[in-house]
Amino acid sequence: MKKIFTRPEALKDAPNHYCPGCGHGIAHRLIAEIVDETGIRERVIGVAPVGCAVVAYDYWNFDCSEAAHGRALAVATAIKRLRPQNIVFTYQGDGDLAAIGTNETIHAANRGENLTVIFINNAIYGMTGGQMAPTTLVGQKTATTPSGREGKGHGYPLKISEILSLLPGVCYVERVSFQDPQHVLKAKAAIKQAFLNQIKGQGFSLVEILSPCPTYWGMSPKDALDWTRDVMQKEFPLGKIK
């Protein structure tokens, strides 16, 4: 019997701290699989965010750096400019990339840095206890919007992918989801494309993943996946944006 699916070498055999049904585990595995498939494990450098994935470097079996909250793309820019032979990617959530790190994100994209960005959009702040994020949907209840987010006063969901796609320095932007196994495979293809763009030197690539947060959405893991499909995608449509 042939083994057709197993843990990728680039993912350490360690239990992760994520809640049951969290999308981070799937995203970590997809990145590890792509690192193995493209044979870049000796030269890839990941930059971990602040947020739920703050200790992502404990789970990946390749070099990683940590960045201050929101500054992953500034750190990644420095690493890539000093070590252009390395493949550098950042792994950031919506609180990190779209709130405190909006400035770093927009300017790194505008400079057309040859980097890969994996953007985990779960429409909420996970690590700090389920507060409203810039990507929280209108009407969505969170710890800081107990009666639902209102557009006027709280603002509307920030569409980082669409904003970045307008910049000439950006090479590739795609939004994917983990709603079912087929979409997980599509997400993997998009992340692989983002890594290949960097390997070919084509510039800034970003993949936004609609990822479930069952704990702070207050749903079962299965319902959370369905919610990404039925509710989140109305605000954040899937597909290649640029």
Partner 1 sequence: MAKVIINRERCKGCFLCVSVCPKRLIKKGSKLNKRGSNFVEIDPAGVCVGCARCAIICPDCCIEVYK
Contact footprint for partner 1 (CB under 8 A): 1-7, 11, 15-16, 18-26, 29, 178, 180-181, 184-185, 214, 220-222, 225
8 A C-beta contact, residue 232 and residue 217: no
Pick 33 or 96: Cβ nearer partner 1:
33
Pick 44 or 224: Cβ nearer partner 1:
224
Pick 119 or 204: Cβ nearer partner 1:
119
- Long-range pairs for 43-46 at CB < 8 Å and ≥24 separation? 43/85, 43/86, 43/87, 44/86, 44/87, 44/88, 44/89, 45/79, 45/83, 45/86, 45/87, 45/88, 45/89, 46/88, 46/89, 46/90, 46/91
Pick 198 or 215: Cβ nearer partner 1:
215
Determine how many CB atoms are found less than 10 A away from the CB of residue 211: 28
Least separation in angstroms between CB 53 and partner 1: 13
Least separation in angstroms between CB 160 and partner 1: 24
Least separation in angstroms between CB 16 and partner 1: 7
Least separation in angstroms between CB 2 and partner 1: 6
Rounded Cα–Cα distance for residues 65 and 123 (Å):
25
Determine how many CB atoms are found less than 10 A away from the CB of residue 239: 12
Least separation in angstroms between CB 21 and partner 1: 4
Pick 4 or 82: Cβ nearer partner 1:
4
Rounded Cα–Cα distance for residues 5 and 144 (Å):
41
Least separation in angstroms between CB 222 and partner 1: 5
Token pair 């495979």 is found at: 185
Token pair 């603002």 is found at: 155
Pick 18 or 216: Cβ nearer partner 1:
18
